[in-house]
Chains A and B, each alone.
Chain A
Amino acid sequence: METRGSEDLDLLERIRRGDTGGAAELFERYAPALLRFTDRMLSDRASAEEVTQEVFVKVISRAHQYDGRAGVASWLFAIAANACRDRRRRDRRATVVPLEAVAEPTARGEGIESVIASRQRRQAVRQALSELSEEQREALVLARYHGMPYAEIAEMLGISVGAVKTRIFRAVETLKAHFSEGESWTAAT
Chain B
Amino acid sequence: MDCRDVTTIALDRLAGEADEASRRELSAHLAGCEACRREMARLEDLWTVLGTDPDAEVSTEFRRRSLDLMEQETLRRRVREFRPKRRFASPLLQAAALLAAGSLGYLVARGLPSGRASAPAAAPSASIAPAAATRLPDLTASPRLSNVAYREADPEGRVGIEFDVTTRQTIVGRPEEPEVAKLLAYMVSRSADTAGERSRAIALVSEHYGAGSATASPEIVAALSATLRKDSNPGVRKKAADALASFTMTPEIRTVFLEALSSDKNPAVRLAAVDALAAAAKQSPDARTIESLREKAVDPQENGFVRAKAASALKAISF
Contact = CB atoms under 8 A, between A and B. Distances in A.
Given A20-B74, A50-B235, A144-B47, A56 B267 contact: no
B7 to A, nearest CB: 7
A61 B78 CA distance: 11
Given A24-B67, A60-B77, A188-B49, A101 B54 contact: no
Contacts of A68: none
Given A57-B196, A125-B53, A185-B46, A172 B11 contact: yes
A31 B66 contact: yes
A94 B211 CA distance: 12
A173 B39 CA distance: 11
A32 interface: yes
Contact of B56 (A19, A48, A149, A165): A48
Contact of A185 (B11, B45, B75, B304): B45
Given A60-B70, A101-B303, A176-B46, A35 B56 contact: yes
B54 A118 contact: yes
B50 A125 contact: yes
A69 interface: no
Contact of A101 (B49, B242, B306): B306
For B8, B268, B305, the residue with the greatest tally of chain A CB atoms inside 10 Å of its CB is B268
B177 interface: no
A175 interface: yes
A85 interface: no
B235 A46 contact: yes
A43 B54 CA distance: 12
B58 to A, nearest CB: 5
Contacts of A60: 70, 73-74, 77
A18 B77 contact: yes
B217 to A, nearest CB: 20
Chain B at the A interface: mostly helix, strand, loop or mixed?
Answer: helix
A126 interface: yes
Nearest to A63: B77
A122 B62 CA distance: 21
B228 interface: no
B134 to A, nearest CB: 26
B246 interface: yes
B305 A90 contact: no
A35 B62 CA distance: 10
A105 B235 CA distance: 17
Given A101-B305, A188-B52, A93 B246 contact: yes
Contacts of B67: 24, 27
A35 B50 CA distance: 17
Interface string A36-68: 100110000110111011101100110000000
A95 interface: yes
Nearest to B149: A61
Given A56-B66, A61-B73, A32 B58 contact: yes
A61 B77 contact: yes
B147 to A, nearest CB: 11
A54 B197 CA distance: 11
A37 to B, nearest CB: 9
9 contacts: A32-B57, A36-B56, A53-B65, A60-B70, A94-B246, A95-B245, A101-B268, A179-B46, A186-B49
Interface of A: 15, 18-20, 23-24, 27, 31-32, 35-36, 39-40, 45-46, 48-50, 52-54, 56-57, 60-61, 90-91, 93-95, 97-98, 100-103, 105, 118, 121-122, 124-126, 129, 140, 143-145, 147, 149-150, 165, 168-169, 172-173, 175-176, 179, 185-186, 188-189
Interface of B: 7-8, 11-12, 15-17, 42-43, 45-59, 62-63, 65-67, 69-71, 73-75, 77-78, 81, 196, 199, 203, 206, 211, 234-235, 238, 242, 245-246, 267-268, 271-272, 275, 303-306
